[in-house]
Chains A and B, each alone.
Chain A
Amino acid sequence: MSFNARSAWSIYHRELWRFLRTAFQSVLAPVLTTALYILVFGSAIGDRMPEINAVDYGAFIIPGLLMLTLLGETTSNSSFGIYMPRFTGTIYELLSAPVGVAETLVGFVGAAATKSLILAAIILLTARIFIDYSIAHPFLAFIFILLVAAAFSLFGFILGIWADSFEKLGIIPMLILTPLTFLGGTFYSIADLPEPWNSVALLNPIVYLVSGLRWTFYGSADVSIWVSLGITLAFLILCVAVIGYIFKTGWRLRD
């Protein structure tokens, strides 16, 4: 199987250029929203809240808020990245180019993941202004953020191919991802939930992502880091398989 690095780089470079072109919307808006969450729930209310697992409440919510932004923005960026060429018809160029699934994924998904890492870095730096927090396992945190960014970039890519309207494009991030993230332990530990809600919460896949990232920050979480990593990896592999199938069959791409 051959891989055309120049093609992949061209897609990657162009997607990042598009990201920077719309920096106000794609960087400033999510950073501002997250900063407001941190300011209100972390700084203003956080001081009156008890510690959770020996972590200040303000610091406790940072991994969850980061995950909230990361999931929404990564999915949106990636889905828009492939949906817009389909919508405007410019996808003809990609489909007629000597470009396969590998180059397309490295280009589009790589760029979406890069955007997410940049966003995550800015959010963490911004959070530092308001909240005193530390990262216990910075390398693992980086790997985990990278994995989540890659997995949800792939997921967004699938969403962008599946959607045939802007409405559908927004449904999953707004009506599924955001509520699941809020209910996935962003603002609380699911261990504090009474049964059966504690067990029900474990059915929410976002719990494992929030919990995994929180573990890399503070060394303690609701579920094991290895379970979180395993689920993230499994989701990533599933998305790759779905995209491989889409390219093989041309579903929603080629008539």
Chain B
Amino acid sequence: MSEPILELSGLTKQFGGGVKALDDVDLTINRGEIFALLGPNGAGKTTLIGAVCGLVRPTGGTIRAFGEDLQGNWRQARARIGLVPQEISTDMFEPVLHAVSYSRGLFGLAPNPARIEEILRSLSLWDKRDARIMELSGGMKRRVLIAKAMAHEPDLLFLDEPTAGVDVELRKDMWHQIDAMRARGVTVILTTHYIEEAEEMADRVGIIRGGKILMVDQKDAMMARLGRTEAHIALAQPLDTLPPAIAAFSVELEEGGRSICYRGGDGTGKGREEVADLTKALIASGIDYIGIDVRESSLEDIFVSLLGEEEEQAA
């Protein structure tokens, strides 16, 4: 049974100007999972992280971390939470080893050179330990931030857009790092603009917009529930009507009868099977085709469609 590590209940943050960055957010994160929080700019992702990490003062609701109320138990809780911020914010003149060791001490842990070395090696930073952070590339600087956040061995780690602005290769490298954290038993909450990242990494996905959580679900369940397969079958000869054996499928004619469009399935591969059955039915009905284009909807399609529905409702 999953054990909650973080529970947000009715979490609200209203800024001075009246803007609600978080609006009655209920969210539970389970121990050991990787949770991706998706949302457009200004959705409230960073504010949510800030509220848990002590950077933002919530105006309503409660936060429970590790089973305890965060407000009354902030010291113990914060000692177990790590944060990798969105912006590369660190003393650029400081050598890498110094910066990471400082972070460990700041969180109240005794020096442990062996552990720091292990962290730096795991992030390919050991060779750069004496380099000033300003001398490193953008990707390396991001790794330093991860190393700093890992220095006190947190149980819960927030990664606020960890791969924003980094190249594809480094992004994939970062995913390996996140996988390695999961292997160590760290619970990871990441916010991202790259839906591909959530698709690749996350166990569960939450979608936030305007400070409200629109949906939270297992990634696979979300795909199954909202995912679709779309196939376009180009016909050798145009059709005026579909024969009953074909019309039984979830299809329609398009492009003046020169193509059949299938939309169906549930994001688990069921749609592909139905497309295969459809092609067999076409052959059995004596309908020739010259090309098939099959596309599974991605998490991005689901995300865009959810936000679109939300906008329509708001209108």
Chain A interface (Cβ < 8 Å from any Cβ of B): 2, 4, 6-7, 9-11, 13-14, 17-18, 21, 88-90, 92-100, 250, 254-255
Contacts and interface: CB of A to CB of B under 8 A. Distances in A.
B87 A89 contact: yes
A7 B107 contact: yes
A9 B87 CA distance: 27
A2 B103 CA distance: 20
Give the 6 A-B CB pairs with smallest separation, nearest first: A10-B105, A89-B89, A96-B53, A98-B78, A98-B75, A98-B79
B278 interface: no
Contacts of A99: 106
Interface residues of B, number: 31
A78 B74 CA distance: 27
Contact of B106 (A17, A89, A94): A94
A25 B41 CA distance: 42
B289 interface: no
A254 B107 contact: no
A132 B212 CA distance: 73
B72 interface: no
A11 B76 CA distance: 19
A88 B74 contact: no
Contacts of B66: none
B77 to A, nearest CB: 8
Given A21-B93, A90-B90, A255 B108 contact: no
Interface in B105-136: 105-110
Interface stretch (B54-62, B162-170, B262-270): B54-62
B103 A93 contact: yes
Given A2-B75, A6-B109, A96 B55 contact: yes
A104 to B, nearest CB: 10
A6 B108 contact: yes
A6 B76 CA distance: 14
21 contacts: A6-B110, A13-B105, A88-B91, A92-B53, A92-B55, A92-B85, A93-B89, A93-B106, A94-B106, A95-B55, A96-B53, A96-B78, A96-B81, A97-B106, A97-B108, A99-B106, A254-B54, A254-B55, A254-B57, A255-B55, A255-B56
Contacts of B57: 250, 254-255
A18 B93 CA distance: 9
Contacts of B47: 255
Given A4-B75, A89-B85, A92-B89, A98 B55 contact: no
A7 B85 contact: no
A7 B108 contact: yes
B83 interface: yes
B194 interface: no
B102 interface: yes
A9 B105 contact: yes
B35 to A, nearest CB: 18
B75 A92 contact: no
A10 B106 contact: yes
B224 to A, nearest CB: 36
A255 B50 contact: yes
B148 interface: yes
Nearest to A97: B106
B112 to A, nearest CB: 12
Contacts of A96: 53-55, 78, 81, 83
Interface in B239-288: none
Contacts of B148: 93
Nearest to A21: B93
B79 to A, nearest CB: 4
B88 to A, nearest CB: 9
Nearest to A5: B108
B146 to A, nearest CB: 13
A4 B98 CA distance: 20
Contact of B15 (A88, A92, A93, A255): A255
Nearest to B77: A98
A21 B95 CA distance: 12
Contact of A92 (B81, B83, B105, B107): B83
B102 A10 contact: yes
A90 B81 CA distance: 17
Contacts of A9: 105
Contacts of B89: 88-90, 92-93
A2 B16 CA distance: 32
Contacts of A92: 53, 55, 83, 85, 89
Nearest to B85: A92
Contacts of B81: 96
Contacts of B15: 255
A14 B98 CA distance: 9
A95 B81 CA distance: 12
Nearest to B101: A10
A18 B74 CA distance: 29
A17 B98 contact: yes
Contacts of A14: 102
B154 to A, nearest CB: 10
A15 B98 CA distance: 12
Interface in B144-158: 148
B108 A98 contact: yes
Contacts of B56: 254-255
